[in-house]
Amino acid sequence: MGELKGFLKYERQEVGHRPVEERIHDFNEIDLPLTPDAIRKQAARCMDCGIPFCHGAGCPVSNSIPDMNESVYKGQWEQACRILHETNNFPEVTGRICPAPCETACTLAVSDHPVLIRHIEYQIVEQGFQEGWIKPLPAARKTGKRVAVVGSGPAGLAAAQQLARAGHSVVVFERDERVGGMLRYGIPDFKLGKHILDRRLEQLRAEGVEFQTGVEVGKDISAHYLRKMFDGICLTMGARQPRDIAVPGRELGNILFAMDYLTAQNKLCAAEALGDIPRITARDKVVVVLGGGDTGSDCVGTARRQRARKICQLEILPKPPESRPEDTPWPMWPRMMRTSSSHEEGCERRWSVQTKAFGGHRNGSVNELHACEVEWTNVNGSWKLAELPGTEFTLQADLVLLALGFVHVVHEGLVKDLGLQLDAKGNVIADDYQASEPWVFAAGDTISGASLVVRAINSGREAAAAMDRWLRQGLPTR
């Protein structure tokens, strides 16, 4: 435990950000880490609960949060770093971009402000890299089994690392030129600098993970090939099929999927070739982001840095309450109003808005958006939407970014080739991470649909464990 009544003594101190005026001119990370002394006080607020809801109900990877806090409070950073890495392969990622369901589940959050868990995690792992405590941990003994991991997003990387540490020979296939998937191309640099990722990939390579990039399985190599070359494969291609909007004018130019837009900027930042992604900047444009989620918010921040003239974000759902509503009581993740750092940088937000149509220039690109307001009513437990007559309005829109989420894994190619069964939502069906073909395992968004990075990491870890058990059948015990 931190201090017995630390939570009465110290208040939660939020992580600072670089001033808006400064940060919108670059793509560098915006967080201003707390000082060690301040961190210790934050850790002192932890109550070391008999039932740590942060760990038991909040954190998808089940980080042993009270133990980390205690070690930090005692100044035992190396111990904290070990505890953290026992459950989380990439805390430097979650420490930056996780929405921190642990904090909303923190017992202090019932009547007070939760412990600053995510930032403590951030500090632990950064200290770990700085002090050189994070070293490659290669398996002591190899099993002689070969496995392929398809896709190098958080689930794939976590699975690969765990499998390699278990002694298997792991090859990761990545369609893109560089490793990282969503982490590299989906998340803007101002939230997650890509050197952070490279630093970790060094460790994976040293542990024996082999990466083959620019290889699209199902296209460049066949499922049949994998079957021949590997004892098993793990599919972690994410849920890349974006949700679209079918309204008049959708075919107009400058209406992009958010992921393409973000990828382009990430590649630009990294001086990578764009390939077949269109290079479109928001500079001096009026940008409308459809979708009020995190991806939408990333688009806002990116557009701001591209010097958009004006940014507007539209959400079809009603504006959430300012505080935790009754229908999502503690320790659940509350459906409530959240303002991201990108929003602070300037953006108009509207809720209960339904897009009706896009209007365009003669040159074929979009220039306006027609929408109306909607009303949500609860009918027998399910929410129904109705347009409010007379609320139609039109917005100027030079660039429309569709951040409407993803539907499921891409079916074309590998999934079809492998002949895998899919569930009603289009996700790959897996029982204990094993797909309908026994030698095929799957994890992350591929089986669950799009979700949090931290869930992907957990899924990758668990899939690796399941696969390890399967691979070890018939092997002598360690």
Partner 1 sequence: MRDQGLYETKYEHDACGIGAVVNIAGTQDHSILEYGKQILINLSHRGAAGSDETTGDGAGILFQIPHEYFLAECEGLGLALPEPFGYGVGMVLGPRDAELRGRCEQFLEESLDYYGLKPLGWRDVPVSSECLGKLARAAEPVIRQIFVVGLPEGDAASAPLRGARNEGRERGHDTLATQEFERRLFLARKRAERFVSEKLGEKAEDFYIASLSCRTICYKGMFMAWQLFAYYPDLADERVRSALAIVHQRYSTNTFPNWRLAQPFRCIAHNGEINTLSGNRNHMRAREPEMASPVFGDDIRDVFPVLVPGGSDSACFDNAMELLVRSGRSLPHAMMMMIPEAFGAKYHISTDKRAFYEYHSSIMEPWDGPAAMVFTDGRLIGGVLDRNGLRPCRYLVTTDGLAIIGSEAGVVEFPPEKIRVKGRLRPGRMFLVDTAEGRIISDNEIKSKIVRQKPYRRWLDENRIELRGLFDAPKLVQSDPLTIARRMRAFGYTREELRMILTPMGINGQEPVGSMGNDAPLAVLSERPKLLFNYFKQLFAQVTNPAIDPLREGLVMSLMSFTGKKGNLLDETPQHCRQLKLPHPILTNEDMERLRSVRRGDFRVVTVPALFEVNALSGGDGLRRGLDTLIAATEQAIREGASLVILSDRDVSATHAPIPSLLAIAAVHHAMLNKGLRHEAGLIVESGEPREVMHFCLLCGYGANGINPYMAFESLDQLKQQGELAAEMEPVQIADNYIAAVKKGILKTMSKMGISTLRSYCGAQLFEAIGLDREVVETYFTGTSSRIRGIGLEQIAIETLERHRSAFQTRLAAAMDLDFGGEYHFRHSGERHLWNPTTVAKLQHAVRSNDPACYAAYAKAINDQAKSLCTLRGLFEFTHAEPVPLDEVEPASEIVKRFCTGAMSHGSISKEAHECLAVAMNRLGGMSNTGEGGEDPKRYQPEPNGDSKNCAIKQIASARFGVTIHYLANAKELQIKIAQGAKPGEGGQLPGHKVSAEIAELRHSTPGVTLISPPPHHDIYSIEDLAQLIYDLKAGNPGVRVSVKLVAEVGVGTVAAGVAKGNADEVLISGHDGGTGASPLSSIKHAGCPWELGLAETQQVLVMNGLRDRIRVQADGQMRTGRDIVIAALLGAERFGFGTAALVTFGCTLRRTCHEGACAFGSATQDPELRKRFAGKPEHLQRFLYFVAEEARQIMAELGFRTIEEMVGRSDRLRMHKALSHWKAKGLDFSAVFHRPDVSDGRAIRCVVPQADRLADHMDWEILKQAEGAIERTEPMRIQMRIRNVNRTVGAILSNRIVRKYGPKGLPDGTLEVVLEGSAGQSFGAFLAPGVTLRLIGDSNDYLGKSLSGGRIVVQTPLNSPFMAHENIIAGNTLLYGGTRGEVFINGMAGERFAVRNSGVTAVVEGVGDHCCEYMTGGTIVVLGQTGCNFAAGMSGGLAYVLDEMQLLDTLCNLDMVELETVWQEADKALLYELIERHLEWTGSERAKYVLKAWPDMVGRFVKVIPIDYRKALERMRAVEQRDTETTPATEEVFHG
| Residues in 51-90 that interact with partner 1 by CB under 8 A | 51-53, 55-57, 62, 64, 66-67, 74, 76, 79, 82-83, 85-86
Size of the site for partner 1 (CB under 8 A): 49
Contact yes or no for 277/267 (Cβ under 8 A): yes
Check binding of 274 to partner 1 (CB under 8 A): no
408: β partners: 241
Nearer CB in complex with partner 1: 156/301:
156
132: region left, alpha or beta (phi > 0 left; psi from -120 to 50 alpha): left
- The span from the CA of 148 to the CA of 337, in Å, is 41
Dig out the tokens for 370 from the structure.
């027609």
Check binding of 111 to partner 1 (CB under 8 A): yes
To which H or E segment does residue 212 belong? strand 210-213
Contact yes or no for 89/162 (Cβ under 8 A): yes
Check binding of 9 to partner 1 (CB under 8 A): no
Check binding of 139 to partner 1 (CB under 8 A): yes
Contact yes or no for 253/363 (Cβ under 8 A): yes
- The span from the CA of 289 to the CA of 400, in Å, is 6
Contact yes or no for 191/29 (Cβ under 8 A): yes
For residue 478, the minimal CB distance to partner 1 (Å) is: 4
Q: Could you say which of 69, 94, 107, 302 contacts partner 1 (CB under 8 A)?
A: 107
Q: Could you say which of 43, 105, 116, 155 contacts partner 1 (CB under 8 A)?
A: 105
Nearer CB in complex with partner 1: 83/217:
83
Check binding of 239 to partner 1 (CB under 8 A): no
Contact yes or no for 429/449 (Cβ under 8 A): no
Nearer CB in complex with partner 1: 70/445:
70
For residue 323, the minimal CB distance to partner 1 (Å) is: 15
Contact yes or no for 353/363 (Cβ under 8 A): no
Q: Could you say which of 115, 147, 159, 166 contacts partner 1 (CB under 8 A)?
A: 166
Q: Which residue stretch of 4-12, 16-24, 208-216, 349-357 sits at the interface with partner 1 (rule: CB under 8 A)?
A: 4-12
Dig out the tokens for 31 from the structure.
């967080």
Nearer CB in complex with partner 1: 66/296:
66
Q: How many CA atoms lie within 13 A of 160 on its CB side?
A: 33
Nearer CB in complex with partner 1: 11/86:
86
Q: Which residue stretch of 180-188, 242-250, 322-330, 433-441 sits at the interface with partner 1 (rule: CB under 8 A)?
A: 322-330
Residues 6+ apart with CB under 8 A from 453: 93, 94, 97, 98, 154, 182, 183
What residues make contact with partner 1 under the rule CB under 8 A?
Answer: 1, 4-5, 7-8, 47-53, 55-57, 62, 64, 66-67, 74, 76, 79, 82-83, 85-86, 105, 107-108, 110-112, 137-141, 162, 165-167, 207, 326, 329-332, 477-478
